[in-house]
Structure 1
Amino acid sequence: MTIDALEPHPLVRLLGKPSADFTGADLVHAIEQLGLRQVNLRYVGGDGRLKTVAFCINSREHLVEVLTRGERVDGSSVFPGTDTANSDVYIVPRHRTAFLNPFGERSSLDVLCSFYDEAGKPLPYAREQIVRRAAEALTQETGMTLEAFGELEYYLVDQPERIYPVEEERGYQESGPFSKGERVREQVLGHLSTMGVQLKYAHGEVGNILENDRQLVQHEIELQPVPLEQAADNLVLAKWVVREVAYSHGLEATFAPLVSSKGAGNGLHIHSRLVQDGASTIVGEEGINDVGRRLIAGYLSAAMALTAFGNTAPTSYLRFTGGDESPEGICWGMKDRTGLVRVPLAWGGGVLSGMFAHANPGSTEPVPEPAIHPQTVEFRLGDGSADVHLLLAGMAVAAKRGLSDPDSLELAERLSTTNHDDFEQLPASREESADALEAERGLFEADGVFPGALIDAVLVGLRDTEDATVDGGPAQDEEAREELIRRHWHVG
């Protein structure tokens, strides 16, 4: 097949095939052609972060073995609560995820892995397996595939600058030299695109915060819609790359839900759409259709419980009550940035051709139609502390309920911001989030998607009383609030 001349993934160009078709033999060929001497097997741990096992290539036979057999690792060190007496698990490479590592002392080929137990069966509590089961259960019942992508917000922390100083809360899509960290952002884009992560754009975000000894400048990367498992992996890779590039510049990057007593926190809004036979099923000639409304109803119906996966830090709940476009009410609206779910503009109604003609007088170029309609539903619940694999799996579970529940359309109508403005509020603490998850745990455990033991572990973590944020806790005490923010600085 012909590879697009602008394809940024060097392995795709070298092998002449899309990454979805990569084989072990392809990766061996690429390593030989590029003269690589190291392979890194990567996986997502129980804390949601990217882990690494590095292999020095000793021979072709050894390379084939690593790329085929994978390795065994100590599951009790990867997943808290695992029995240490029976903790060996396998990690097996998924060849389609391979990329060239842009960091490290030696050039290497990296591959994401999946977990399996001693019998060779998918490890039930591994993050990537939970997402896969959730996506498969949705497709099996509805025939539709849930695609998603995230808006990843983060802050770069540095000393204040005297030249072109930043202005507080004036960072939205700012350009250099007023935008600080623009080079970091561009390097992140370059690395992610060559790793096969499909991107939409990156820009400066609103949050510019000036303190006595530092400045915090907010940025955002928006990805492209892909199937759920890939969307989760892409967000983990994006966080890793942001941190690596920032570190190389002597800067600190944080995805914390709250970074200061003033200014915006870091959200993680997730866009999604349902696709069947190569077409979007959530939009019609008049915009969002009944399938889209059922999808929205599913998200809203499970929103309280989904905070357990999307808002894991105590500071998440301080952010909820702090305003700055953070959602509080469980509702939705068209283009409305105050609701928990938003239906953004999507070039509907034939407006694109008119805008293009006005912006380019005399042009006779045809205006191409996208392969899949770009309309998405934006779920504004998550923040930088989210366990992204569990959040996306939970969204698939909620979507499945919304699509099958006969009362979904009535629920969507009732929770629309066009009808009233008095809606149920999101949890005010991790304790309340835990209560909501416990009440809904049957929804997530259905079809074997979420193991009961994992739900138990999430509940225990949420009910840790050390970081209480209500009833006179750090939410009311400025010094304790700042200490809480620092304690949960490097989340996700």
Structure 2
Amino acid sequence: MLSTDTVSLSPNPLVQALGKPAEEFTKADVMGYAEDHRIPMLNLRYVGGDGRLKTLNFAIQSKAHLDRVLTLGERVDGSSLFSFVDATSSDLYVVPRLSSAFLNPFSVIPTLELMCNFYDVDGGPLASAPQEVLRKAQRLLEEETGCRMEALGELEYYLFSEQERLFPVEPQRGYHEAAPFSKWEEVRTESLLHLASMGCSVKYAHAEVGNFVSGGLQMVQQEIEFLPVDVCDAADQMVLAKWVVRQVAHSHGIEVSFSPKIAVGQAGSGMHFHTRLVQGGVNRFSQGHGLTDDALKVIGGYLSHAASLTAFGNTAPTSFLRLVPHQEAPTAVCWGDRNRS
């Protein structure tokens, strides 16, 4: 149970109201919150094969209706979500994870949101779903080593808007700039606060290196970084972060791009992941002032499997346009203490 101080400081309204961490949420908790706060809408959220967040909307009609949706989820057409699901046998089910419940920060109508898992018609997890592949890998790791992997993501992106001529910044000199030199700081801070209210473990956000003008449009780069959480939750957080940044940018009438490379000679946008192994709440990578044998073994594994990791992690062709010297982008399979070259 969280301490009173921790609950009162939590930006997540459900944690405050229920007085417990999200991982302890029960169906009764979610139903009670919906009833006590007169929540009329529920959205089931899930990630399709294109990596974007999908939505299924429900108008809550009764306790029995809400109970059924929270317990059983709903049927969806898998062939419209994943290229590997055949239309001749495409029924899938999306079933919500109670621990993921949050209030939609954008909806005028109070709306509960829940992230979902995919299940097949036999009631088992959809083995081919990317999220299930990750969960299976996590389970196998824990069975073999007794450790779980935690990860934190860094999400970089560009905002496009009409050029603002006041307080210009030199190209490639935007890193950690403050307003008024840093443009669209409000998009960054609004996104950060929304993500925190949704239960995401955010670390900080800042202006990034990229900053240039092209065709009358000003391109400014920003970054949101998270805290280490279970690797499956880290993946969810990145999907939610893209959704939030797009929503906030849209509300300001500007565009956002997560493309790895939008212009030759300008800083690309990375999606970095930091990882560690945890056992019993203890970080197995660190021992005083040095790395543990476990950490060195994992580093060796990353180096050995760099090619296959690149194939899975860099599916967009523009990823490889980003990998050039002198842009803080990797150009060699190596590791170092603090090397950003």
Q: TM-score range by the shorter chain?
A: over 0.9
Deviation at 1:323, TM superposition (A): 4.0
Deviation at 1:47, TM superposition (A): 1.3
Alignment pair present for 1:54 and 2:57: yes
Identify, as 1 or 2, the structure richer in helix.
1
Match of 1:174 among 172, 177, 186: 177
- Distance in 2 (alpha carbons) for counterparts of 1:251 and 1:166: 19
Match of 2:126 among 123, 148, 151: 123
Q: Deviations over 1:79-98 (max 9, x none)?
A: 11311111101111100000
1:115-264 superposed matches below 5 A: 115-264=118-267
Partner in structure 2 of residue 12 of structure 1: 15
Alignment pair present for 1:64 and 2:43: no
SS at match of 1:104: coil
- Distance in 1 (alpha carbons) for counterparts of 2:39 and 2:168: 43
Partner in structure 2 of residue 23 of structure 1: 26
Match of 1:108 among 108, 111, 118: 111
Partner in structure 2 of residue 325 of structure 1: 328
Q: Is the 8 A contact 1:45 1:127 kept in 2?
A: no
Q: Is the 8 A contact 2:125 2:132 kept in 1?
A: yes
Deviation at 1:187, TM superposition (A): 0.3
RMSD value, Cα: 1.1
Aligned length: 338
- Distance in 2 (alpha carbons) for counterparts of 1:182 and 1:286: 37
Alignment pair present for 1:309 and 2:317: no
- Distance in 1 (alpha carbons) for counterparts of 2:292 and 2:270: 27
1:246-285 superposed matches below 5 A: 246-285=249-288
Q: Is the 8 A contact 2:261 2:267 kept in 1?
A: yes
Compare 56-65 and 149-158 and name the one that shifted more: 56-65
Q: Deviations over 1:34-68 (max 9, x none)?
A: 21110000001111111100001111211111111
* Structure index of larger Rg: 1
- Distance in 2 (alpha carbons) for counterparts of 1:80 and 1:104: 31
* Paired residue type of 1:271: H
Deviation at 1:289, TM superposition (A): 2.0
Deviation at 1:159, TM superposition (A): 0.8
- Distance in 1 (alpha carbons) for counterparts of 2:186 and 2:225: 17
* Paired residue type of 1:160: Q
Deviation at 1:131, TM superposition (A): 1.1
Give 5+ residue unaligned stretches, structure 2.
none
- Distance in 1 (alpha carbons) for counterparts of 2:314 and 2:123: 33
1:341-490 superposed matches below 5 A: none
SS at match of 1:259: coil
Match of 1:90 among 76, 89, 93: 93
Please identify runs of 4+ aligned residues in structure 1 that moved more than 4 A.
none
- Distance in 1 (alpha carbons) for counterparts of 2:250 and 2:325: 30
- Distance in 2 (alpha carbons) for counterparts of 1:197 and 1:285: 29
- Distance in 2 (alpha carbons) for counterparts of 1:105 and 1:77: 29
- Distance in 1 (alpha carbons) for counterparts of 2:109 and 2:272: 35
- Distance in 1 (alpha carbons) for counterparts of 2:118 and 2:51: 14
- Distance in 1 (alpha carbons) for counterparts of 2:239 and 2:33: 25
Deviation at 1:321, TM superposition (A): 3.1
- Distance in 2 (alpha carbons) for counterparts of 1:251 and 1:183: 12
- Distance in 1 (alpha carbons) for counterparts of 2:25 and 2:195: 18
1:32-51 superposed matches below 5 A: 32-51=35-54
Q: Deviations over 1:439-459 (max 9, x none)?
A: xxxxxxxxxxxxxxxxxxxxx
Q: Is the 8 A contact 2:325 2:331 kept in 1?
A: no
Give 5+ residue unaligned stretches, structure 1.
339-492
* Paired residue type of 1:214: L
Partner in structure 2 of residue 412 of structure 1: none
SS at match of 2:329: coil
* Paired residue type of 1:170: R
SS at match of 2:9: coil
* Paired residue type of 1:25: A
Q: Deviations over 1:409-453 (max 9, x none)?
A: xxxxxxxxxxxxxxxxxxxxxxxxxxxxxxxxxxxxxxxxxxxxx
